[in-house]
A and B are shown apart, each in its own frame.
Chain A
Amino acid sequence: MVGVLMTTPESARVEPEAAQPDVETTVAELAPLYRQMLAIRRMEEACAKAYSQGKIGGFLHLIIGQEAVCVGAVAAIQRDDYVVATYREHGHAYAKGIAARPIMAELYGKKTGLVKGLGGSMHLFDKATNFLGGHGIVGGHVPIGAGAALASKYRGDGRVTLCFFGDGASTIGGFAEGLALAALWKLPLVLICENNRYSMGTPLYRSLAVEDVSLRALAHGMARDRFDGDDVVKVKRRIAEAVERARTTGEPTLVEIVTYRFRGHSMSDPGLYRTKDEVEEWKRRDPLHRSRDRLLTLGMAPAELEALEEDVRLEIEDSVRFAEESPAADSYLPYVIKE
């Protein structure tokens, strides 16, 4: 019967590309990016452990597998540029320059947390690094990103805003309106769709009539780009092009980066909607391992690499200890209304 299946037609499906060759780089460029990705991976693993011990509550959405996207993209901007992210944002916050200690303490609900125990995993904010959250309503933060970009245009401060969201946000109104207004008003914004192929448990082919999210840019006359997120250096280079466009011409770009989360949507999700083979296939493309192999190929001394990894281990262990030993959150009233 015609029209029974409400899925993407074959002609509008996009299979992930096979792994692409490495983008040219150096140890000096790649090593710090690898370090950030590793720190995020270890931080997320520590979060998962603490969550299973009941030390972290609420929802916990891990980014394991997608680290190259936030690390590569944030590496392409300046320190005072703005970043707006979703509830899966520990990595983005770390990449923007927020230390592991206040992030971990926030997840533990402690007074020393980044937002004093008032936000938790989904609501990290940091004025010092221009990290504008940490948003829990899918797509609702896209207009906020456009607003920060509008402020930059208003002031002529030359800043660029990166706004991250998932493929699942591409169906909601906040994304549609943010995209339309950013294009109309030529805002210095880079909209980054982290397409991990599932909006929670629903695959792309049951969410989108056309799987290529970047095509939405065409309707608005907006520049677009689409590529895989396996190689952190590639992410950095391609986002840098969009950032350059925003900074010099003030025009936005819609960038779609194809990636994969190795864990479920949140800690309560065992991910049964995906086959083991599919997950294993993506794990073979793990951006973290790829960068490590690349560093060795580029001639980084194994001892040096191991020292870097030991340093990361100590940093994350320290953040957990800091969170464990910090005093409990103690106050919320002063932050409802600014006097």
Chain B
Amino acid sequence: MPIISYREALNQAMREEMERDASIFVMGEEVGHYNGAYKVTQGLLQRFSERRVIDAPIAEMGFAGIGVGAAMVGLRPIIEFMTFNFSLVAIDQIVNNAAKIFQMSGGQFNIPIVFRGPGGPAVQVGSQHSQALESFYAHIPGLKVVMPSTAYDAKGLLKAAIRDDNPVICIEGETLYGTTGEVPTEDYIVPIGKGDIKREGKDITLVAWSKMVWTCLDAAKQLEAQGISCEVLDPRSLRPLDVELLVSSVRKTGRCVVVEVGWPMCGYGAEIAYQVQRHCMDALDAPVERVTSDDVPMPYAKNLEDRCSRSRET
């Protein structure tokens, strides 16, 4: 099986889907002539022309809303946010329009749109560029939220998102674009709402998505040396959440720690903890723990950033 980068996997997903369906187009800042701020859309303009790879000026609310309008009448836009931090100026379009129009219209107008781009803190880019916003979007009925951790999942989830008839938020790991993994050449999707056991274990379930899957896999290796067997569960989709897989894993291990890069207050890990206590109360040997960043806007200085990001238990 070919080994390709996470970035290339996402690129292949868009390219192959655009070959298959002429109603799909990509729109965003620097997606065309510049080949993408993170080069995820590399080469798409040359292949599909300016009609289907549309460079937008800096107007997230405008082009996100244009995507929603185009989706209402049957096109299938992929809207790239240069980073999800900038999605905050488009949140009215995502939350008030994309997520609600199917319901507000009594089921007449569904919105087949993908909002994608990198999220989560990178390295020393300061507070406005270091945010994990998945908890925001996972809160909203009418949206789906996916967060791939591997190249395989990136391609399969993005393809599933593009084929989905609903608005899907695809938050990519900003620091994962250069990571590599096996990706089959034949067509496949990763179904939205299906989690994945990234490592089997019997003593404890570590729940993590995106970049934190890799952190947990490292931790599992270290703990193995101490005789502790960790299961690493990657939900891959935060909305809908694969509760069944979560419950079966925790029922097996009896312990659960959720590891996320986001803030603790109302963070997504709180929902995981709720589901675990609701469905696994009698099987738990210990309270569910969360590891999050510190509850502050991300500082710039490297030592402070490390301190802020590192293993805060709540």
B92 within 8 A of A: yes
Is there a chain A Cβ closer than 8 Å to B51's Cβ?
Answer: yes
Binds A, one of B6-14, B64-72, B242-250: B64-72
Question: Which chain B positions have C-beta within 8 A of A335?
Answer: 102-103, 106-107
Q: Is the CB of B70 within 8 A of A126?
A: no
Flag if B109 contacts A181 (CB, 8 Å): no
Instruction: Tell me if B108 and A115 are in contact (CB < 8 A).
Output: yes
Check B149 for interface membership: any CB of A closer than 8 A: no
Q: Output the least CB separation between A202 and chain B (Å).
A: 21
Best-surrounded residue of B67, B69, B73, B102 (most CB of chain A within 10 A): B69
Closest chain-B Cβ to A140's Cβ sits at a distance in Å of: 5
Which residues of chain A from 300 to 339 have any CB-CB distance to chain B below 8 Å in the complex?
A: 332, 334-338
What residues of chain B lie closer than 8 Å to A146, measured between beta carbons? 62, 65-66, 69
Residue of A at shortest CB range from B89?
A173
Given A123-B105, A338-B166, A184:B57 Cβ within 8 A: yes
Query: Do A174 and B92 touch across chains, with their CB atoms under 8 A apart?
Result: yes
Give residues of chain A (226-250) contacting chain B, Cβ–Cβ below 8 Å. none
A-B CB pair tally, cutoff 8 Å: 144
Task: Establish whether residues B70 and A151, one from each chain, have CB atoms under 8 Å apart when the complex forms.
Answer: yes
Interface string of A127-145 (1 = CB under 8 A from B): 1001011111100111111
Say yes or no: is B75 at the interface (Cβ < 8 Å to chain A).
yes
Q: Which residues, 69 to 118 on A, are CB-close (under 8 Å) to B?
A: 82, 84, 113-118
Q: B56: CB under 8 A from chain A?
A: yes
B69 x A127 contact (CB < 8 A): no
Task: Verify B106–A144 contact, CB threshold 8 A.
Answer: no
B59 part of interface (Cβ distance < 8 Å) = yes
Contact between chains at A181 and B63 (CB < 8 Å): yes
Q: How large is the interface on B (under 10, 10 to 19, 20 to 34, 35 or more residues)?
A: 35 or more
| Minimal beta-carbon separation of B24 from chain A (angstroms) | 11
* B61 touches A (CB below 8 Å): yes
B70 A137 Cβ-Cβ under 8 A: no
Interchain nearest-CB distance for B270 vs A (Å): 22
- Say yes or no for B284: interface residue by CB 8 A criterion: no
Pairwise interchain contact B75-A151, C-beta atoms closer than 8 A: yes
How many Å lie between the Cα of A181 and that of B73 in the bound state?
A: 18
| In contact, A148 and B104 (Cβ under 8 angstroms) | no
Q: Is residue B229 within 8 Å, beta carbon to beta carbon, of the partner chain?
A: no
B118 within 8 A of A: no
Q: Counting CB contacts under 8 A, is B144 at the interface? A: yes
Q: Judge if B141 is at the interface, Cβ distance under 8 Å.
A: yes
Interface size on A, residues (CB 8 A): 48
Please state if B61 and A125 are interface contacts (CB–CB under 8 Å): no
Q: How far is the CA of A37 from the CA of B158 in the complex (A)?
A: 49
Judged by a CB distance under 8 angstroms, whether A147 is at the interface is yes
Whole-angstrom CA separation of A180 from B66 in the bound complex: 12
B51, closest chain A residue (CB): A154
Interface contact A137-B69, CB-CB below 8 Å: no
Contact (A145, B104) CB under 8 Å given A174-B92, A338-B166: no
Cβ contact of B62, chosen from A141, A181, A332, cutoff 8 A: A181
Binds A, one of B38-46, B93-101, B194-202, B203-211: B93-101
The answer to whether A125 and B68 have CB atoms under 8 Å apart is no
- Check: B306 CB closer than 8 A to any chain A CB: no
Chain A residues in 8 Å Cβ range of B61 = 143, 173-174, 177
B104 & A125 in contact (Cβ 8 Å cutoff): yes
Quote the shortest CB–CB distance from A297 to chain B (angstroms).
Answer: 42
User: By the criterion CB–CB under 8 Å, are B109 and A132 in contact?
Assistant: yes
Interface set, chain B 121-163, CB cutoff 8 A to A: 141-142, 144
- Select from chain B the residue with minimum beta-carbon distance to A136: B96
CA of A146 to CA of B69, assembled, Å: 7
**Contact check: which of B25, B51, B64, B103 meets A336 at CB < 8 Å?**
B103
Bound Cα distance from A125 to B102, whole angstroms: 10
B243 to chain A, nearest CB (A): 16
Q: Are A181 and B166 in contact (CB under 8 A)?
A: no
Is A203 in the interface zone, CB < 8 Å from B? no
Q: With A and B bound together, what is the CA distance between A123 and B106 in angstroms?
A: 10
Taking the closest CB of chain B, its distance from the CB of A150, in whole angstroms, is 5
A119 interface contact, C-beta 8 A: yes
Q: Is the CB of A140 within 8 A of B96?
A: yes
Q: Does B309 contact A (CB under 8 A)?
A: no
Contact between chains at A137 and B144 (CB < 8 Å)? no
Inter-chain contact B73/A151, CB cutoff 8 Å? yes
Closest A residue by C-beta to B105? A125
| Contact B97 A123, beta carbon cutoff 8 Å | no
Most chain A beta carbons < 10 A, residue from B70, B73, B103: B73
Interface string of B153-182 (1 = CB under 8 A from A): 000000000000110000000000000000
| B105 cross-chain contacts in A, Cβ below 8 A | 115, 118-119, 123, 125, 127, 133-134
How far is A251 from B25 in the complex, measured between Cα atoms in Å?
A: 21
Min CB distance B300 to A, Å, is 28
Chain B positions within 8 Å of A123 at CB level? 104-105
- Whether the Cβ atoms of B73 and A143 lie closer than 8 Å is no
Sampled A-B contacts (26; CB under 8 Å): A115-B105, A116-B106, A117-B106, A118-B105, A119-B104, A125-B109, A132-B69, A132-B109, A133-B105, A141-B97, A142-B65, A143-B63, A143-B64, A143-B68, A150-B70, A154-B70, A174-B65, A177-B59, A177-B61, A178-B62, A180-B62, A181-B57, A181-B59, A184-B57, A337-B102, A338-B110
| Besides the known contacts A125-B109, A147-B65, A177-B61, 9 further A-B residue pairs in the complex with CB atoms under 8 A apart | A82-B73, A84-B69, A140-B65, A143-B69, A144-B97, A150-B70, A335-B107, A336-B142, A337-B102
B: which residues have CB within 8 A of A? 25, 51, 54, 56-57, 59, 61-75, 89, 92-93, 96-97, 101-110, 141-142, 144, 165-166
